[in-house]
Amino acid sequence: VMNGTIKIDVEKCIGCGLCCKDCPQHVLVLQNGKATMLAERCLECGHCVAICPKNTFTMSGYDMHEVKTYDKSTFGIDEDILLNTIQFRRSVRHYKDRQVEKEVIKKIIEAGRFTPTGSNKQGIRYIVAQKSIPMFENEALKTFRKLKRLLEIVSKFVKRPYDVRGYKLEPGFFFHGAPTVLFIISDDDVDASLASMSMELMAEAMGLGTLYVGFFAVAAKHNKRIRKEFGLTKKEKVVTCLAMGYPDVKYMRTVPRKKAGIEWR
CATH number of the domain to which 185 belongs: 3.40.109.10
Other C-beta atoms within 10 Å of 70: how many?
Answer: 8
Task: Answer whether residue 192 is part of any domain.
Answer: yes
Same domain, 62 and 83: no
236-265 pLDDT tens trace: 999 999 999 999 999 999 999 999 999 999
Task: Answer whether residue 135 is part of any domain.
Answer: yes
- Report the candidate in 248, 200, 192, 198 with the shortest Cα–Cα distance to residue 217: 192
**Count of positions (residues) in the chain:** 265
pLDDT of residue 202: 97
- Give the number of domains in the chain: 2
pLDDT of residue 2: 46
pLDDT of residue 40: 73
Same domain, 101 and 47: no
- Report the candidate in 173, 82, 63, 192 with the shortest Cα–Cα distance to residue 126: 192
The C-alpha atoms of residue 164 and residue 147 are separated, in whole angstroms, by 10
Q: Which amino acid is at 144?
A: F
**Order of strands, sheet of 237-245, starting from the edge strand that comes earlier in the sequence:** 124-129, 180-186, 237-245, 209-212
User: Model's pTM, two decimal places?
Assistant: 0.89
Same domain, 165 and 227: yes
pLDDT of residue 1: 45
Is 214 buried (19+), middle (13-18) or exposed (0-12) by CB count in 10 A?
exposed
Bridge partners (DSSP) of residue 114 are none
Residue 149's pLDDT band, with cuts at 50, 70 and 90, is: confident
Give the residue numbers spanning the domain of 207. Answer: 79-245
pLDDT above 90 as % of the chain: 83
The C-alpha atoms of residue 122 and residue 239 are separated, in whole angstroms, by 14
The C-alpha atoms of residue 189 and residue 147 are separated, in whole angstroms, by 23
Same domain, 235 and 129: yes
Task: Answer whether residue 240 is part of any domain.
Answer: yes
Task: Answer whether residue 255 is part of any domain.
Answer: no
Same domain, 104 and 232: yes
Choice between 171 and 158, residue whose per-residue pLDDT is larger = 171
Task: Answer whether residue 262 is part of any domain.
Answer: no
Checking if the pLDDT of 10 tops 90, the result is yes
The domain that contains 15 carries what CATH number?
3.30.70.20
Same domain, 197 and 233: yes
Mean pLDDT score, 125-136: 98
The C-alpha atoms of residue 196 and residue 29 are separated, in whole angstroms, by 36
